Amino acid sequence: MKNLKMKSARVVLDLSQQDLAERVGVSRQTISAIEKGDYNPTINLCRAICKVLGKTLDELFWEE
């Protein structure tokens, strides 16, 4: 399932996939794969992404 919430939060902060990747210590391809729903990140990576984007785990990764 695509993670449009994460992509939206990234875009609002005017961050490219590369910018976010550098800030959390992964490749741009990893960020792309998470946003496309092709990769299920670890909880530690989820927490790092949330910290950079200023969101909670629920806001970015909870599926309704």
Alpha-carbon radius of gyration of the chain? 10
Determine if the pTM surpasses 0.85: yes
Q: Report the topology of domain 4-56.
A: 434 Repressor (Amino-terminal Domain) (1.10.260)
Tokens 């092709």 — which residue?
38
Burial of 47 (0-12, 13-18, 19+ CB in 10 A): middle
Q: For position 64, what pLDDT does the model report?
A: 72
pLDDT by position in tens, the chain (length 64): 889 999 999 999 999 999 999 999 999 999 999 999 999 999 999 999 999 999 999 999 987 7
